[in-house]
Amino acid sequence: MDTTLDDPHAPLVGQLLDGRYRVDALIAVGGMATVYRAVDTRLDRVLALKVMHPTLAVDATFVERFIREAKSVARLDHPNVVGMFDQGADGAYVYLAMEYVAGCTLRDVLRERGALRPRAALDILEPVLAALGAAHRAGFVHRDMKPENVLIGDDGRVKVADFGLVRAVDTETSSTGAILGTVSYLAPEQIELGTADTRADVYACGVVLYEMLTGAKPHSGETPAQVLYQHLNAGVPAPSAVVPGLAAGLDELVASATARSPEGRPFDAVALLGQVRETRAALSDAQLDAVPPQALTEPADAAGSSEDRTNVIPRPLPPAGVGRTARLVLPPPGPAEEERGRAPVRRRRVGRGLIASVVAVLLVLGVGAGVWYINSGQFTRVPSLLGQTEKAAKSRISAAGLDVEKTDRKYSDTYERGTVMSSDPGSGARIRDNGKVALVVSRGPEVVRVPDVSGEPLAKARRDLTKAGLAPGMVTRELSDGVPRGSVIRTAPGSGTERHADSAVALVVSKGAPVDVPDVTGKSVQDATAALEDRNLKVAIAPERINSPEDAGRIARQSLTGGAGAAEGDTVTLTVSKGPRMIDVPDVTGDSVDDAKSALTAKGFKVHVDRPFLSFSDTVASQSVDGGGQAPEGSTITIKTKGL
């Protein structure tokens, strides 16, 4: 926020706003609003009160933008974004109640210290990009990034403030309207077309990084028009051209962020943050802690220049007979600016296209004169796509004579799942006939609540989870007295739980009411089947019979054991016995009782020891089945000891 303290709200200091907020002191004055330190008398909390200038409060457009800031920031729960507490109005005063950050702005630091060491610059830039990344992934563009809006707390925390110009990603302004922003940080497409997406914030962050590394802005001029001209026609110089000795990686980082063509920049702040971290990792401690030899020691723009203010900058209207295909080219810079523009730039040059015919018209505006050029050729406009379903958007693109290049999907808190949240080129952009448009379709909110699907049939529960933006996961089944067979008992995680979109949700499905399974082993097939069917269980007979102690034709075993819990309609598989297996009986006569028992049990027999009355012998005298004979597996062999 700007720090020029000519207060248009002087009567507010010492007053109670909206019966709740006691205004204690002026903090700063900006192009749209004044910020005060205040106390919330209900919660006894110090906060910052941002009050719109009364001259703007009568403009419904500005009031809408002001309220949009409150709603947008309130949704950005991020440690590096200034928190939003409340929004309201008291007579002519429209206000926002925000988190109060005791400290200073990055502009204050630059005015006092000039250029910063690379380590300090990156330490500030990273949390700024983290905050903007959260906004970008939530579907918002800040559009007014500058040192005034970077707050540095007394505790060292860095926070991004002033989302007053925030707009939804890919929302465009009219090319015949006004530019709202700060001239020193406007991206070329903001100046030329009046549009801004996440890459406009990336450009501004590149300019801020340049300013932190050099202590000066990359473009300057006597009028805002001259600054705007340089943004359009001159690349941002390499920081090392101003501060020799800076690492080449820092030059490349600035060049990437400030490419004049949006396509040449990282897509959003998250992508730029990744580049910043890669650059930092590649630098040595000596390179990170290099003291800038040409750091500005005199406070620059101590009073605050108009270039640092958020202003409404008129954009020239095309003269009569000139169509909407016109492009704005501002007057060239003076000799000093031309010399400045010759500084070496380590960057990839981006072509600006061919201009086929030129019509020069002199325009008199507050920002200076301009010249309109008209592009010839066959062009069309990308139809309005935002908020359309994917199918409808593709139909509109086809009807316009264009093709869909590709379709990406991203999370969005603002666009419904399955609707278009952005396109490249954007809606309304000029594109050659038969050109291609890339779509980004919303996957819905990144965090969604698990719906309550209990009691629903499994197929419907799966559809409801998919519709909510979640993935039906593993299905397990349990017995249930109250939930019909095939319907959902519960989910894991449970209903109401917040999960990332597309996360899997496990389903527990009812097997029906529990049924006690009777033990039918040893029964005939007919009797066993009747007993099971009486319990509403289904019966299957295994195709192969097995040897078992049960008589042939009797049930040897069942898949669900007697006493086990089952559900009505479950199937019990019965295996029929073909009788016991015949086993050779070893000869154990003459062996000790213990040795005889071991030999017989090892063969699968049971053993009974018969000791005659008053027999004290431990030697086997006879056995019920002679050695060498056969007996059924599992049958009992009796051994008898010698008597007196």
Read off the tokens for 132.
């903007």
Give dist(CA 73, CA 444) in Å, integer: 19
The set of residues, in sequence order, having a beta carbon less than 8 Å from that of 443 and lying 6+ positions away, is: 409, 410, 411, 412, 417, 469, 501, 502
Structure tokens, 338 = 């031309």
Q: If you ran DSSP here, which 8-state letter would residue 495 be given?
A: T
The residues, ordered by sequence, that sit 6+ positions from 386 with a Cβ below 8 Å of its Cβ are: 168, 170, 171, 415, 420, 421, 422, 423, 427
Q: How far apart are CA 203 and CA 278, in angstroms?
A: 18
Neighbours of 464 (CB within 10 A): 16
Give Cβ neighbours of residue 549 (< 8 Å, ≥ 6 apart).
577, 580, 632, 633, 634, 635
DSSP character string of 615-632:
----BEEEESS-TT-EEE
Backbone dihedral angles phi then psi of residue 449, each to the nearest 5 degrees: -95, 140
C-beta atoms surrounding 352 within 10 Å: 13
CA 623 to chain CA mean position, Å: 81
Question: How many CB atoms sit inside 10 A of residue 615's CB?
Answer: 15
Taking every pair of Cα atoms in the chain, the longest distance, rounded to a whole number of angstroms, is 140
How far apart, in Å, are the Cα atoms of 246 and each of 110, 119, 259, 299, 344?
A: 18, 12, 20, 22, 14
Residues 24, 40, 77, 144: which is the catalytic one?
144
144 is catalytic: yes
d(Cα 553, Cα 560) in Å, to the nearest integer?
19
Q: What gap in Å lies between CA 241 and CA 253, rounded to an integer?
A: 14
Sequence-ordered list of residues with C-beta below 8 angstroms from that of 345, at least 6 positions apart, any chain: 235, 236, 237, 238, 241, 255
d(CA 540, CA 528): 11
Helix (H, G, I), strand (E, B) or coil at 341: helix
Rounded CA-CA distance 370/184 in Å is 19
If you search the block for the tokens 């006004």, which residue do you land on? 178
Strand order in the sheet with 606-610: 606-610, 636-641, 620-623
Contacts of 602 (CB under 8 A, 6+ apart): none
Residues marked as catalytic: 144
